[in-house]
Amino acid sequence: MKTLTEKILSRASGTDVSPGDVIEVEVDLVAFHDLTGYHVIEVMDKVGARKVSKPENLVVAFDHLVPPPDVKSAEIQQAVRSFARELKLPNFHDVGYGILHQVLVERYVMPGQVVVVADSHASTSGALGAFAQGMGASDVAAIVMTGRTWLTVPQPFKLVLDGEPRQWITGKEVSLELLRVFKADYFVGTSIEVFVNEPSKFPMDYRLTVANMGIEMNADSLIFIPDEVTRSYIESMRNVKLSKVEKPDPGAKYVDEYTLQLNNVDFLVAAPSSVDNVKSVRELSNVEVDMVFIGSCTNGRLSDLEIAAKIMRGKKVKTRCIVIPASWSVFKKALELGYIQTLVEAGCVVTYGTCGPCIGGHFGVAGPNEVVVSTSNRNFVGRMGSPQSKVYLSGPAVAAATAIAGRIAEPGEVL
């Protein structure tokens, strides 16, 4: 009787694992981007070996400071680009593909894999049923060189999502509800296994947001149990047939269990400067806003842009509003479906897939005392720019309504 986490880690370690065990595992997929990539390569050079144990298992995508906003960023990308060429990396995505986590789920990650990324939002890949962890540059360099790493088997926690979310309520509100209930420290050392009772009511885009926010809950991993939604997502994106996927044994033991009734989840916002400082939109309706950001590896997917376009259609934004589709594929589909045109006509600035403003990098850095509503994942002091700026985290519908209203608002207030 094993949980999915135990099954994946037993297979990857070649041993019969239990929670708390310290094990060595074979890593199926390892990845880095520009801003951690140069550091990974630097560590490899210090160790004295530019060696990639399995080039086909390494994915590199430029996303943090792309296209480069300054000379130093350009130099960083030159260094990683020449590394990719020198070692003939087959899965290198230069400027033009999008955010690494989105590229990974669109093109590479399979259920049951162990995935390690030199970026904390590695947790996103858990939406496809993978055990996915972020690690630092040194750990990732070791994996690139040896194909292996060590880790502690986390304690398994069962989360059940029941029913159907109300209109405009998405994976982001579900994540914020979990942070409201459990706070940011409850899941330390835990693997959250998510069971969706009615798979079609909680589509892949929502799951990707929840898995992405798993790191904000400080979970060791957050894994959605693969179901028909997982299968159809992978098969439609990649033209592959998925064979049998691993699931937990019926009767597997979890340290605890929580059922979230999706139809009870409300419009929520994480107020400054902590992801678990969660409030209802109604409590914040007097907050005037300078800039709205719709994008990032958390909420830059097609359904996010669809929601924003539906709310903004025929209206004009009162705030500055920056929209960044998470990948080339998302951008292209949003163009074909007319979402980009609607957003541009509403006055949004739409740009190519980059992390940009989420990390205070470029394309919308927040100034002193500016108030930002962002669909990204962190509202920490200084995260999006000035330490005196204030960041509120929301889902796409609240972000779009806020851009139209000029203050924090629910979609019903502007429709």
Q: How many CA atoms lie within 13 A of 405 on its CB side?
A: 23
Which residues, numbered 13-32, are part of the site for another protein (CB under 8 A)? 22
Residue 243 neighbours by CB under 8 Å, 6+ apart: none
Among 27, 99, 142, 409, binds another protein (CB under 8 A): 142
Residue closer to another protein, measured from CB, 301 or 378: 378
Question: Rounded to 10 degrees, what is the CA torsion of 28, 34, 37, 38?
Answer: 170
Least distance in angstroms from the C-beta of 240 to another protein: 30
Q: How far apart are CA 18 and CA 10, in angstroms?
A: 9
Does 342 engage in binding with another protein (CB under 8 A)?
no
Which residue lies nearer to another protein by CB, 23 or 337?
A: 23
Judged by CB under 8 A, the residue of 236, 249, 282, 380 near another protein is 380
Among 98, 361, 396, 411, binds another protein (CB under 8 A): 361
Q: Specify the DSSP element, H or E, that contains 337.
A: none
Beta bridge partners of 259: 160
Separation of alpha carbons 32 and 359, rounded Å? 16
Q: Which strands form 58-61's sheet, in the order they lie side by side? A: 92-93, 58-61, 29-32, 114-117, 131-134
| CA-based nearest residue to 254, from 33, 1, 64 | 1
Upstream peptide bond of 226 is cis (omega within 30 degrees of 0): no
Compute the least distance from the CB of residue 22 to another protein, in Å: 5
CB of 157 to another protein, least distance (A): 15
State which of positions 383-402 bind another protein (CB under 8 A): 383, 387
Handedness of CA 61, 63, 65, 69 (dihedral sign): positive
Shortest Å distance, C-beta 218 to another protein: 5
- Read off the tokens for 86: 């020198």
Answer whether 237's CB lies under 8 Å from 230's CB.
no
Nearer to another protein, 277 or 280 (CB): 277
Residue in 133, 230, 319, 394 binding another protein, rule: CB under 8 A: 133
Tell me: does residue 53 bind another protein (CB under 8 A). no
Q: Which three-class secondary structure state does DSSP give residue 185?
A: coil
Q: Report whether 98 contacts 9 (CB < 8 A).
A: no
Q: Which is nearer to another protein, 122 or 399 (CB)?
A: 122
Binders in 277-336 for another protein, by CB under 8 A: none
Does residue 119 bind another protein (CB under 8 A)?
yes
301 or 383: CB nearest another protein:
383
Q: Which two tokens stand for residue 114?
A: 């162990």
Residue among 16, 381, 412, 415 that touches another protein (CB under 8 A): 381
Size of the site for another protein (CB under 8 A): 48
Nearest-approach distance from CB 72 to another protein, in angstroms = 5
**Of 96, 103, 70, 102, whose CA–CA distance to 81 is shortest?**
96
Site for another protein in 170-229 (CB under 8 A): 184-185, 188-189, 215-216, 218, 220
What is the rounded distance in angstroms from the CA atom of residue 67 to the CA atom of residue 57? Answer: 25
Chosen residue from 50, 72, 166, 316 binding another protein by CB under 8 A: 72
35 binds another protein (CB under 8 A): yes
Which amino acid is it at 16? D
Asked if 42 interacts with another protein (CB under 8 A), we say yes
Name the residues that contact another protein, by CB under 8 A: 22, 35-36, 39, 42-43, 46-49, 65, 72-73, 76, 118-120, 122, 133-139, 141-142, 145-146, 150, 184-185, 188-189, 215-216, 218, 220, 274, 359-361, 378, 380-383, 387
